[in-house]
A and B are shown apart, each in its own frame.
Chain A
C-alpha cells in the first residue's frame, strides 16, 4: 500500500505492507518506527477515548485509531494523510489545538453551579427524563477536533467558535444544574457564534462519536430567538 504523508517540506511517500484489521494509526506508527523516526504525529489511548489522533485521511477528518484502512483507502490503493484542517500545523501531522480549546472557554464551556456553589447533595436528574436526555445528547465529546476541521464556516471566519465549542455550550444550556445560562447564550450569539452556522452539517456527518453539533447549534439559535420574543 502506498502512503502519502504531508510533512514539513512537502508530501513524502512510503510503502507499507497491508495487514488484516489495520488501522490508519497502525500505519502511521509503523512508518514512524520502521522508516521515518522523525515523523511527528499524536496519539495516546488507541481506543477512541482521548481524541488526540485525528487527521485528514484521504481528504476527510477522522479519528485514525478507530479507522480501518480497508474502509478508507482509495480505489488506487493510496492512503493520503494530512494534519487536521483549520488549525495551525506544528510539525508534520501535529496541529496546535490551542485555538480550538480557547474557543471552548470563549463559548462558556465551563460548568457554573447555580448560586456559585456545588451543592453537597447530588442533583438527581432521572435518566429517563427529557432534561437528562437533552443534556446527555452532546456530552460524549472527546475533543478530537474532527468537526472543527470539517467546518467551512471556521475556514471563512477565524473567529467562529466552531461546532465542538457550541455543542459543549448547548450541553450546559440543557443542564438544569447550571447557573450561567444567560452569559453563555450571549457568548455564542452573533457572527462568530451560532448565527453564522449554515447547517452544512459537516460536523454532524463526521463526528466519530455520532454526536450532532449542527443540531446543537440549531438549538442555541432557537433558544436565543425565543428568548428575544
Chain B
C-alpha cells in the first residue's frame, strides 16, 4: 500500500517532469546533440539542477517499484526482502541520476 502510494506520488511528479523532458528533447535534438549545447543550458543553472534532481529521484523510485511488481507477478519474487532490495535499487538509481545532474550543473 505504501509502495503503491510511492508509485502514484512519483507518477504525478513524473507526469509533469516527463512532459517537460519530452519538450526539451524535441527542442534539443535539432541540429544534433553536443556537450557545449547541453552544458550551456545546465551549467550553473540552479533551476535545472533542482528539476533534474527531483526528476531523477522520482524516476529511480518509480522504476524500481514498477520492476518490483513485475518481478512479483511474473517471477514470483515476493516478500519484504525483495521489497527492500528494490527500494535500495531505486535509491541507488536515483543517486546515480542526482550525481549526473550535479555533473551537468558543475561541469
Touch test A–B (CB under 8 Å): yes
A157 to B73, Cβ gap below 8 A? yes
In this assembly, does A153 line the interface, its C-beta being within 8 Å of a C-beta of chain B?
A: yes
Q: Is the CB of B4 within 8 A of A221?
A: yes
List residues of B whose CB falls within 8 A of some A CB.
1, 3-5, 8, 69, 72-74, 78
Residues of chain A lying within 8 A (CB to CB) of residue B74:
156
Q: Are B8 and A225 in contact (CB under 8 A)?
A: yes
Residue of A nearest to B1 (CB): A189
Would you mind naming 7 contact pairs between A and B with Cβ atoms under 8 Å apart? A156-B73, A156-B74, A157-B72, A157-B73, A190-B1, A221-B4, A224-B1
8 Å CB interface, A212-229 against B: 221, 224-225, 228
A191-B72 in contact (CB<8A): yes
- Name the prevailing secondary structure of the B interface residues: helix
A4 lies within 8 A of chain B by Cβ? no
- Is A195 a contact partner of B1 (Cβ separation < 8 A)? yes
Residues of A within 8 A of B (CB): 153, 156-157, 189-191, 195-196, 221, 224-225, 228
Who on chain B is nearest to A155 by CB?
A: B73
Shortest distance from the beta carbon of A70 to any chain B beta carbon, whole Å: 37
Residues of A within 8 A of B3 (CB): 195
- Cross-chain contact A195 with B73 (CB below 8 angstroms): no
Are A153 and B73 in touch, CB under 8 angstroms?
yes
CB proximity of B64 to chain A, nearest CB, Å: 16
| Apart from the given pairs A157-B73, A195-B1, A196-B73, 17 other A-B contacts in the complex at a CB distance below 8 Å | A153-B73, A156-B73, A156-B74, A157-B72, A189-B1, A190-B1, A191-B72, A191-B78, A195-B3, A195-B4, A196-B69, A221-B4, A224-B1, A225-B4, A225-B5, A225-B8, A228-B5
Contacts of A156 in B (CB 8 A): 73-74
Q: Which residues of A contact B78 (CB under 8 A)?
A: 191
Q: Kindly state the separation between the CA atoms of A164 and B3 in the bound complex, as whole angstroms.
A: 24
Least CB distance from B86 to A in Å reads: 13
* A-B pairs with lowest CB-CB distance, top 8: A195-B4, A156-B73, A189-B1, A190-B1, A195-B1, A225-B5, A228-B5, A157-B73
Q: List the B side residues contacting A228 at CB < 8 Å.
A: 5
- Across the interface, name the chain B residue whose C-beta is closest to A221: B4
Residues on B with C-beta less than 8 A from A195 are: 1, 3-4
